[in-house]
A and B are shown apart, each in its own frame.
Chain A
Amino acid sequence: MATKSMGDIEKIKKKLNVLIVDDDPLNLIIHEKIIKAIGGISQTANNGEEAVLIHRDGGSSFDLILMDKEMPERDGVSTTKKLREMEVKSMIVGVTSLADNEEERRAFMEAGLNHCLAKPLTKDKIIPLINQLMDA
């Protein structure tokens, strides 16, 4: 299957459905705008507990989940583990701070992430992952 180029994102008819999990309202606004700019639709959760409830109550299905690591109520590591226990098959991408050390990132990956990206998120960082999703 040919790998789609960045320019092909605009031609993809199926709208990507993304869940953005972050306790920072600023990050939620920016990440929603990024997803919209690349042709996706998004829903937000203010912390990991909300993300779990969204999956438990609505049986929601997302193509991509952007998971912040440091959050109150339930952090990104715990949320990722819980979602994988619930057999959530979405691509989960961890969003970490540059201050996080290698051990912290590894623990986050081992919780069940597909990828890890460092903040701040940009279109250039997310588009290669979208391409991967489209190729899958």
Chain B
Amino acid sequence: MELVQMQKSLQDYTKSLFLDGVLDSQFLQLQQLQDESNPDFVSQVVTLFFQDSDRILNDLSLSLDQQVVDFKKVDPHVHQLKGSSSSIGAQRVKNACVVFRSFCEQQNVEGCHRCLQQVKQEYYLVKNRLETLFKLEQQIVASGGMIPAMELGF
């Protein structure tokens, strides 16, 4: 595939992430912080987010599977995931966590189980799409091209 075509594909793919609400402007803020001194800043931050989130989701699954659910353990995990997803711009994960917290406040176990599934769904979606985004970027760099800057013109 020609370089120009790859760059166009990347721009279109990135735009779709915003239009679908998977990412919000905070992700653009992260991209703007990336520079020559730290060219992998965004992927490093996102990788850390993936590692933390995998651990948190596992802990949440275990906590909610207990005979008696300890919401004092569940809520801080959801709070942390809400915070980290907000920090990288993973909008749908963040929104799902907001709903999750309200069920934690109500100590509604069934509601929390449903929310956990929703959070997992949104998380795996953003993870999958960001991994595809980074692969597209790597292909462009490997072909000797530059990653085009993303602008909020849509």
**Interface, chain A (partner B; CB < 8 A):** 24-27, 29-30, 33-34, 37, 70, 97, 99, 119-120, 122-123
Contacts and interface: CB of A to CB of B under 8 A. Distances in A.
A48 B83 CA distance: 18
Given A29-B48, A30-B33, A122 B80 contact: no
Contacts of B80: 24
Interface residues of B, number: 24
A93 B53 CA distance: 27
A114 B33 CA distance: 26
A25 B32 CA distance: 20
12 contacts: A24-B87, A25-B48, A26-B48, A26-B84, A26-B87, A27-B87, A29-B44, A29-B45, A30-B33, A122-B29, A123-B29, A123-B32
Contacts of A97: 79, 82-83
Interface in B30-64: 30, 32-33, 35, 38, 41, 44-45, 48-49, 52
Top-3 shortest CB links A-B: A33-B33, A122-B29, A26-B84
Contacts of B82: 97, 99
A66 to B, nearest CB: 13
Given A33-B33, A119-B83, A120-B26, A26 B38 contact: no
B7 interface: no
Interface of B: 26, 29-30, 32-33, 35, 38, 41, 44-45, 48-49, 52, 79-80, 82-84, 86-89, 98, 101
B87 A33 contact: no
Contacts of A30: 30, 33, 45, 87
Contacts of B88: 26
Given A99-B98, A120-B26, 13 more contacts: A24-B80, A24-B83, A24-B84, A27-B83, A29-B44, A29-B45, A29-B48, A30-B30, A70-B79, A99-B82, A119-B86, A119-B87, A122-B26
Contacts of B45: 26, 29-30
Contacts of A29: 44-45, 48
B108 to A, nearest CB: 18
B101 A99 contact: yes
A37 to B, nearest CB: 6
A26 B33 CA distance: 14
A118 to B, nearest CB: 10
Nearest to A33: B33
